[in-house]
Structure 1
Amino acid sequence: MTDIHELLKGFQRFRVKSFEPNRELFNRLAMRGQTPGTLLIGCSDSRVDPAILTDSAPGDLFVVRNVASLVPPYETTGRYHGTSAALEFAVCNLHVHNIIVLGHSHCGGINALLDGYGENDEGEGYIAPWVRIAAPARDEVLRRWPDASREFKQRACERAGVRTSLTNLLTFPFIRQRVEEGTLNLYGWYYDLENGELMQYDPEKDRFYDLYFGPVPTADPA
């Protein structure tokens, strides 16, 4: 567990190693605002930080994180739409060119969905209805592979959840319009925690494939 004092020490290291050497960049971002080219929808999981995974600089990514990297379908009822508001701001105000949905292995939200979390009054009532956004993904996996191992179902459901979110993105009129015009691209990524590997969804073949970047470079010996 990270002590709060360790976080404060980390902020001090950030000031020394990142802020001061790049003060001009940070001042420019502060004065001129942000112009990210990509919106990334990631999971709240502490092990999967989008900026770290993509080695992005401040201002490169507009990031939305929630339980299980889910995108709800477009709807106008209710009062609070945090993820949907972020979609609207990124697409309509920041004019991003790319939207990435980033799923990952060992996702606790997908695990809860597979376990039927909330059906027995667990928790305070927020997680269960949220992860049920991916219920079509769970139902597809259980229908196609009823006798598969739990690990297989978990991974299959995590990837199917990414596809569900991609489908839901296109229910937003302002997103669908830009995709059809060719000014906005949608991507589905899946990160393997154990192996540090990244997969991308191919909608034409309806499958995920490995993004191979070659051997991992090693540091020169001292």
Structure 2
Amino acid sequence: MGKRKRWPGHFVIPYASMLLMISAGQVYALSAPDDEVVLKLGESYERVRAHSRSTLPPFEPGKSFATVERPARFRFDDPKYGFAAPAAQYLLVSFHNKTSEVEAVTLSPQVKDLPLDEAMAIIQDLQRQLQRGGWVPFKHTYSRPIQDTSEARRWIRACENPTSYWNGGNQYQLSLNLRCSDSTAKGKVTPSGYVISIDLGRPWISDQPDE
């Protein structure tokens, strides 16, 4: 399957934490949240708070990340590469611990574990937005866009956790992952649900199309 991808430090967030926050967010699943986080990479964290409507807490010198306390939609506010994602119970903004400059975002655009049909619909919508915005997908065999095919669905049900990678020019990089929600689900006949994760930041890996 080629070389294992390495995430920069601001993306190394415990997967269990994401699952716990999504589980907690199920109480919001029946109502559409009004919250929205709107940001650009490189702007100050306090500016993000000013033009977002969310529960992101105030900046504290020395801290390098913050999370929402209730679900919020996400909008990447870039004139060319912008895109929007559905309400996320887990949404983490990473920033410089002194200047508060936003460096990256990690989110799971859902408020509960999703059936495969719903998760796949979100994945396909996000990938269409990226394509329309000029994002270029990786050509590496195991980093290409996640296709909605019978073969891909069998792979996903087997908890193989496909991940697609995209470059927004030389400015941005994004990964889009779909995995079984139960970390022990590998080998089960029917996983209990699925979790999507998005990592957005400056480029951190290179495409390797021949591997």
> What is the TM-score normalised by the length of structure 1?
0.28
- Structure having the higher strand fraction is 2
> What is the TM-score normalised by the length of structure 2?
0.29
Q: Considering only CA atoms, is the larger Rg found in Structure 1 or Structure 2?
A: 1
